[in-house]
Structure 1
Amino acid sequence: MKKYLKRNLMLCCAASALALPTVAHAQDQGASPTTPSQTRTEGLGAVTTTDIVVTATRVARNLSDVPMSVNVATGEQLEKLQLFDTKDVQQLAPGLELTNTSGRNNTTTLRGLSFDPDSGVTPTVQTYVNEVPADAQTVFTALYDIGQIEILRGPQGLERGLPSPAGAITITTRRPVFDEITGYAQASATDDKGYNFQGGVNLPFSDKFAIRVAGLVDHNQVNQVRNISNGDRSRATTMSGRITLGFKPSDAFTAYLTYQYLEADTRQYTQVVGTGSTGLAGTSGPALGVDDYASVMEGPARFKNRSHQITFNGHWDMGPVSLDGLAAYQYSKLGQARDQDTTNAIPGYVAVQRIETPFKIPTFELRLSTNDDGSLGGGIGAFYTKQTGTTRVDQPADNFFTAFAPASLGLFLPIGVNVIIPADVETLSFNAFGHARLGNLKIEGGLRYTKYHNILVSDTFVSSPGYPGFAPFGIDPIDPFTVNQDGIPAALRDQGTHAFTGGVNLTYEVNDALNIYASYNRSFRAPTAGASVPVGLSNDLIVTDDEKTDAFEVGVKGSAFDRKLNFAFAAFYQKIDGFVSRFTGVTYDCPNLPAAFGGGCDNVPPASPVGTPGDRVNDGGFDFNYNGDATVKGVELTLDVHPTTFWDFSVSTAYVKARYSKGARLPCNDYNGDGAPDSEGTPAITGPGNVSFCKLGRLSDTPNFSLSANSELRFPMGGSFTPFVRGLINYRPAVFSQLRNFNYQSRTILNVYAGVRSDDSKWELTGFIKNLINQKRITDISAAIGQTAAADGSVFDSGYRTINATAPREFGASLAFRW
């Protein structure tokens, strides 16, 4: 038993399973600060009319002229559809999934490419607010007073400072105008004790100075889960305020200075499904299904976010050229207190993990570009950002001697783990871009050089007061000990890399109503490292390689029938060299442990960085980052139709096949050695190396096909008001998860709205039902039943798997005023 304890102490060092944090870095910010506009506003959702103006290419232009696939949602549409959370925007864009599985780590998936924030790598989909990149944990928390949201599909490598392989989400808040007092106020409430109050007002003091003030108070039940262990419920309260000062001393110069404060307090208990278990150690809980929306956590699950962000956007028209500049500073402090035993595998025992993550991000960018609309044009730009801050983790990693006794007997070795992870990430880039027009053919493109530097440090401190021994169970006394571990070998700490990215686009204007385009884009992501990776593992399990992406896309955009029908079609192919993903809960074998732990599996000194496989016995589980070659191909189609002045509808579909290449070998649990992932039976490592490797298919648990549609029908009364009905539907077919060994059912989420508004749109009263058909589906599930192993080989088995599920049916009402 003592030998088993020594071998498993390394699990304590790795227990946090955290990666070096790299909260989203700033990217090029040189677009004119003019808020995008849409002259036709009766449509809903991801419409593609030729009247929509976007800044996807950092220049305000009609959506039909942009050589890429883009979905757009205006602030007015978000308010009409009662979309109060940025994650709800996924209902307007097929193939986009915005999720939060734990209350802390928001993830974004687009075109089949997923991202785990704990991996430490930059996101597959970068998110920006007013052209300033921001971490998803902050951005997804509060959505109010929005001008427009643009979802840019496909690799980004030129227009913005940090490339991303799947796309970008740009959010523009409403800015002051200098000629009139405007504003809105909206109050909404739901039957599940949710409420949302938001509003904004524009105050012009002169034609040179104006202020816009906006605020939000939101309360909701998050994942709708009830904790049957302590009687509490999941819930979240968010408060945020924003003030923007607008300066326009002349027609040639415009600037905006924005300050935003956000404070969010979330209690999100983890939902479980399964039979539960009853044994000598106690009862984990009753049998629970997805309809129960229940948690069995005995400890807390609380997450706090307090953020400050200041942004300056300036635009100076100097005649033949314009200078755009941005300066921003974000300070955020994220806190977490969460019971690690989410499935209550050890009844009567709570192991609270506390994480504190403060970070500071200054961002600067200058962009000089030509103003002419002639046959030639272009510009240059420079960008810089740096992130600093130290993450601190404090948690117990106690080692139980046996699972044949309740936790109240205290038959475990108390172990405390502290992890310190300082962040020091710096990015500097320069880019040059240009365009040329030859008749109806337009060529545009450019090149960006990025220099990326990251200091990877992870210090882990493990200590125990020891154990006096317990003769009836054959437990010998254990002396107190303290062990310090550097989670990243010295040779791997300084990670500096550089890359060229960019692309070229060709657009042919067939006529005023039809454009055809073809594009090539190159992107990349810098390597990342796992924090507190177990000692003795090979370097490929500690630090990843670069990720490189090459993508080709062709498309057509246009309109017909006097713009009553608008359409956009795109087909694409993307090749990824070394796609970085995160593989959770992978069993490993540690052949080389420090002498302080008894010499480890092979009694190799800690100076040896790599060893040969040991006894192939499970020494713990960890979340590993790893590279795998992959391809992505598919098509996307959007139709926006306005048959009459009182009816319009939009349909968007996507078919995407994102797969690992046939030769890719990825970390997995393969207990029976057949080369396919499985977690049934006794944990074991198969094949050479520290972990098992499998050939996997999908890059993420998303189906190939997805669809989103919405419509509004108005009933003109000839008076001062107009009744209306709206609908929003999102469909996702069934998909089998190879890593989870689970078949996700198809999902059809239908939201309906009915109400009345004034003919001048000054007020609107709406009643709504979200998830009308009350479909309750699992959207994410753990790979295996929650278990905790004891030193004598016995196992605490909870009988549960953790899940996320669709929210149940929700009734609500909203009242809005605009002036």
Structure 2
Amino acid sequence: MSAGIRAALLVGIAGAALAVPAFAQEGSSSTAGGTPQQQASENNLGEIIVTATRRQERLQEVSMSVNVATGEQLEKFNIFDVKDVAQLAPGLELTNTTGRNNTTTLRGITFDPDQGTDPAVQLYFNEIPTDAQTAFTAMYDIEQIEILRGPQGLLRGISAPAGSITIRTRRPGFDAIEGFGQVTATDRGGYNVQLATTLPFNEKLSIRVAGLVDGNRINHVRNLPRDERSYGRTQSARITVGFRPTENFTSYLTYQFLQNDNNQFTQSFGPGNTPFSAVPTATLGGIFIPDTTIRSGPALDPTDYASVQEGGFRTRNRTHLINLAADLDLGWSTVSLVAAHQFTKLQTNRDLDANNAIPGYVQYSSVQTPYYVDTAELRWQSNNREGFGWGVGAFFSKQTGTTTVDQDASQFWYAADPGSFNPVPCVAIGFPCAGPNDLTPFPIPNILNIGTLVEVPVNSKIASFNANLRYKTGGLTIEGGIRYTIRKQVDSTLLTLTGDVNSGPDEIIPASLRSNTDKPFTGGINVNYAISDNLNVYAAYGHAFRSGSTGVAVPAGISNDLIRTNPEKTDSYEIGIKGSAFDRRLNFTAAAFYQEFDGFLSRFTGIFYNCPDVQGTCSPGGPPINNATDVPATNGAFDFNYNTPAKVKGIEVTIDGRPTDNWDFNVSASYTRARFSNALVPCNDFAGTGTPNQTGAPRVTGAGNVSFCRTNGRLAETPDFGLTANTEVRFPVGEYTPFVRGLMTYRPGFYSERVQYDYRSRQQVNLFVGLRGPEAKWELTAFARNLLNQKRISNIAGGEGQVNALLGSTFSSGYRSVNVTAPREFGITANMKW
């Protein structure tokens, strides 16, 4: 497709409707017993009702920036996957680069689940904090998703610096049988089947049953050595029992089962390499013969969607989730209870040598993470809308479970040339030899087989208490409150070595860092003033807190600042305007914000380290080795957490409208500048320039266990600007309604200092054409995802995949790990409601 045609198509779709997720065009057809999404007449957009403040309010009256996606929109735009939710809100990035961990970025603030802290963007599933790996894996029968932007430190149980995402499933009504069924199939092996129905027994008891079966190719990558494709399979079922014995008491008990199986191969990009030619191979006679015949794989382009990973990368999730929500209306006040129990077992098996730096050898890793989470929250708040209002609450959560990591940590080396540097005695590397002074005359590759067994018991408790006041008179509303939290966590890591080196189990976390308690105060205040019925302005201040974390399975012997992070504090200021015009045919919001972090918790992945032990396992008590000639320049790479100063500022704008009765359009854009503030951060600085670089052999520069770089760079690998758009144009013909829908996102290109890569811009366009039957009882839709077939790198590793050789060199694969946007995909969806 030519650039001119692409530009014309983009302009046409954008002119028809630039959009955001936030606003449904019709009332929800399956929310009986729940909150109506909006009260729309046939010619205007009506009101949008949200629960961002833990009470039902008009979106216009909420003093924060909020995006809203209804269940109908998720169905209309075939939002089945976590990554696709980002198409409905600018500045929101939801990624899964490995098939195992879901990473959320909002307002330029990112969070990696592996960093072991509370999320920067906290996720709530039916008002209970839930991990993204569970909540986003199976998205079906959803009533509403609300994306709350900015610090959340008061009204919800866990403080979060960037925002919260609340997911509310549909509840059963008590009046009539109703439900829906939806089937989708694509030309790239994708399928999605959803079914839900409400069965009321009487006006006091009702149930809703929903289920999902989903399959797809995830990142569309083919594994060349195994001749297999990436795939994902998900099955889930949910049953909700509604009980309303009186008009003043209502409760909903939900049970959800989830089973997910993903095999997502790591995509490689680059020319490949002959890894063994980079280090000399030797015969027993000491004659060096470079091996130039064994390749890591062929030259690969991002559009090849190919993997050279000789082992697999399989992740399985099995979850049971029970949720209870109950409300007792006392007339002048309401008492609410939400409680949940979650049992999840995650299992990951993968090849650590994802880019095949050592052909013919699979570095296995098996991680099992069973965990139990019990959560409860009790709230009591007044019901009055005018005058003084109040609310108090208590929250408690406990998580337990023991993660077990069984992983290959073998070391590789080649025979040393006596003329170039001192050979290493066999005993120095723990390898059996004929005599204690014998050198290492073995041909490459030689392997010191080391297996590691790591056990990480988790014991975390959070208890918090909050109180808030609200005063409303005329058009003025003032709200404020405070939350006191007690967070206790015990961190422990037991390491056992097996194989050619045997030791343990040994505790590798220093005793002073194992037990931590934080007792922060968080909260905020906001002022909202209604200039008229159709125009509100607001100002808000928020303070949030996140506890630091102790790294688990970290290399023994490194400095404490690389093991334990300090707490993070943040203050945010926001002003905004919300309104409507033309008899509510046009809604708009705009917000500007500034946020400052003291000790921002960030994760730096793939950082090479060294420590005083040539076995690569690091012995405590000694200085780093830093490029000595008779020991390795690095012992390997690890992912480290670190505290940094940071600042965030930006603006967000949303417009949605209904110019005619049969055309809806929406547009939402955000600009966020989120940067480190003259921060000293862990980095890979192989050249010793003080800036990130991974050219040549890994090496640590400076006086620490890792290299450090000074930076004012991005907090996340995302652009500053983002835009999302969607539309629907209808062409009624009697009882039938043909329609055209469009969904578009735009991400400009940007240069990443952290990974030294210039990302290209992305324009994702999805097009839907279909027919709706009488009374909207059924729909048949044909669609195309990524209509322009853009294949852009969305994430790339900082350097080539490498494996350390024991004596100071490396095996380099010649590839960098990448994620590339999915290729164009055609499909068809059939939807029926009753």
Q: What is the Cα deviation at residue 34 of structure 1?
A: 6.5
Q: Does 1:378 align with 2:390?
A: yes
Q: Which moved more, 1:435-444 or 1:494-503?
A: 435-444
Q: Which moved more, 1:630-639 or 1:117-126?
A: 117-126
Q: What is the Cα deviation at residue 522 of structure 1?
A: 0.4
Q: Does 1:426 align with 2:438?
A: no
The change in CA–CA distance for 1:355 and 1:726 in structure 2 (over 3 A counts) is: same
Spell out the pairing of 1:21-32 with structure 2 (5 A cutoff).
Answer: none
Letter in 2 for 1:37: P
The change in CA–CA distance for 1:551 and 1:410 in structure 2 (over 3 A counts) is: same
In structure 2, how many angstroms separate the alpha carbons of the residues matched to 1:507 and 1:410? 69
2:626/2:700 contact within 8 Å kept: no
In structure 2, how many angstroms separate the alpha carbons of the residues matched to 1:56 and 1:540? 37
Q: Does 1:39 align with 2:38?
A: yes
Alignment coverage as a number of residue pairs: 758
1:86/1:141 contact within 8 Å kept: yes
Deviation per CA, 1:610-664: give whole Å up to 9, x if none. Answer: 85776674233221100001000000000001100000110000000000112x1
Deviation per CA, 1:530-568: give whole Å up to 9, x if none. Answer: 112222222111100000010000000000011111000
Letter in 2 for 1:425: S
Q: Which residue of 2 aligns with 1:691?
A: 706
Out of 256, 259, 282, the position equivalent to 2:294 is 282
Q: Which residue of 2 aligns with 1:181?
A: 177
In structure 2, how many angstroms separate the alpha carbons of the residues matched to 1:149 and 1:412? 52
Q: What is the Cα deviation at residue 599 of structure 1?
A: 12
Counterpart of 2:512 in 1: which secondary structure?
Answer: helix
TM-score by length of 2: 0.88
1:701/1:735 contact within 8 Å kept: no
Q: Which residue of 2 aligns with 1:266?
A: 262
In structure 2, how many angstroms separate the alpha carbons of the residues matched to 1:636 and 1:35? 29
Letter in 1 for 2:98: S
In structure 1, how many angstroms separate the alpha carbons of the residues matched to 2:535 and 2:103? 36
Q: Does 1:331 align with 2:343?
A: yes
Q: Which residue of 2 aligns with 1:497?
A: 518
1:335/1:357 contact within 8 Å kept: yes
The change in CA–CA distance for 1:293 and 1:757 in structure 2 (over 3 A counts) is: same
Letter in 2 for 1:441: L
Deviation per CA, 1:207-244: give whole Å up to 9, x if none. Answer: 11100000000011100011111111000110000000
Letter in 1 for 2:169: T
Q: Which residue of 2 aligns with 1:445?
A: 480
Q: Which residue of 2 aligns with 1:652?
A: 668
Deviation per CA, 1:504-526: give whole Å up to 9, x if none. Answer: 01000001000000000000100
Letter in 2 for 1:91: Q
In structure 1, how many angstroms separate the alpha carbons of the residues matched to 2:273 and 2:742? 43
In structure 1, how many angstroms separate the alpha carbons of the residues matched to 2:597 and 2:703? 26
Out of 284, 297, 303, the position equivalent to 1:291 is 303
1:430/1:450 contact within 8 Å kept: yes
Q: Does 1:728 align with 2:743?
A: yes
2:32/2:173 contact within 8 Å kept: no
In structure 2, how many angstroms separate the alpha carbons of the residues matched to 1:303 and 1:745? 30
The change in CA–CA distance for 1:395 and 1:250 in structure 2 (over 3 A counts) is: same
Cα root mean square deviation, aligned: 2.1
In structure 2, how many angstroms separate the alpha carbons of the residues matched to 1:785 and 1:685? 16
Q: Which residue of 2 aligns with 1:11?
A: none
1:501/1:523 contact within 8 Å kept: yes
Q: Which residue of 2 aligns with 1:475?
A: none
In structure 2, how many angstroms separate the alpha carbons of the residues matched to 1:204 and 1:598? 64
Structure 1 unmatched runs, 5+: 1-31, 467-479
Q: Does 1:817 align with 2:832?
A: yes
Letter in 2 for 1:457: S
1:282/1:346 contact within 8 Å kept: no
Q: Which moved more, 1:88-97 or 1:49-58?
A: 49-58
2:179/2:833 contact within 8 Å kept: yes
Spell out the pairing of 1:331-370 with structure 2 (5 A cutoff).
Answer: 331-370=343-382
Q: Does 1:641 align with 2:657?
A: yes
1:300/1:352 contact within 8 Å kept: no
Q: Which residue of 1 aligns with 2:420?
A: none
Q: Does 1:208 align with 2:192?
A: no
1:506/1:518 contact within 8 Å kept: yes
Q: What is the Cα deviation at residue 55 of structure 1?
A: 0.4
1:388/1:425 contact within 8 Å kept: yes
The change in CA–CA distance for 1:614 and 1:724 in structure 2 (over 3 A counts) is: closer
In structure 2, how many angstroms separate the alpha carbons of the residues matched to 1:535 and 1:266? 32
Spell out the pairing of 1:239-638 with structure 2 (5 A cutoff).
Answer: 239-278=235-274, 279=277, 280=291, 282-402=294-414, 411-464=446-499, 466=500, 481-591=502-612, 606=620, 608=621, 611=623, 617-638=633-654
The change in CA–CA distance for 1:512 and 1:408 in structure 2 (over 3 A counts) is: farther
Out of 86, 92, 95, the position equivalent to 1:90 is 86
Letter in 1 for 2:34: T
Letter in 2 for 1:705: F
Counterpart of 1:548 in 2: which secondary structure?
Answer: strand
The change in CA–CA distance for 1:512 and 1:454 in structure 2 (over 3 A counts) is: same
Deviation per CA, 1:229-265: give whole Å up to 9, x if none. Answer: 1111000110000000001011100000000000011
In structure 1, how many angstroms separate the alpha carbons of the residues matched to 2:617 and 2:749? 49
Deviation per CA, 1:723-777: give whole Å up to 9, x if none. Answer: 0001000000001111100011100000000000014110000000000000000
1:403/1:796 contact within 8 Å kept: no
Q: What is the Cα deviation at residue 494 of structure 1?
A: 0.4
The change in CA–CA distance for 1:347 and 1:611 in structure 2 (over 3 A counts) is: closer
2:609/2:705 contact within 8 Å kept: yes
Letter in 1 for 2:729: L
In structure 2, how many angstroms separate the alpha carbons of the residues matched to 1:669 and 1:226? 30
Letter in 1 for 2:37: Q
Letter in 2 for 1:672: A
Q: Does 1:710 align with 2:726?
A: yes
1:94/1:707 contact within 8 Å kept: yes
Spell out the pairing of 1:702-781 with structure 2 (5 A cutoff).
Answer: 702-717=718-733, 719-781=734-796
Deviation per CA, 1:285-333: give whole Å up to 9, x if none. Answer: 1111111001111112111000000011000011211100011100000
Letter in 2 for 1:402: Y
2:466/2:481 contact within 8 Å kept: yes
Out of 161, 180, 189, the position equivalent to 1:165 is 161
In structure 2, how many angstroms separate the alpha carbons of the residues matched to 1:759 and 1:41? 19
Q: What is the Cα deviation at residue 41 of structure 1?
A: 6.7
Counterpart of 2:589 in 1: which secondary structure?
Answer: strand
1:33/1:313 contact within 8 Å kept: no
In structure 1, how many angstroms separate the alpha carbons of the residues matched to 2:102 and 2:662? 38
Q: Which residue of 2 aligns with 1:13?
A: none
- Provide the identity percentage: 52
Q: What is the Cα deviation at residue 483 of structure 1?
A: 4.3
Counterpart of 2:110 in 1: which secondary structure?
Answer: coil
Structure 2 unmatched runs, 5+: 1-30, 278-290, 417-439
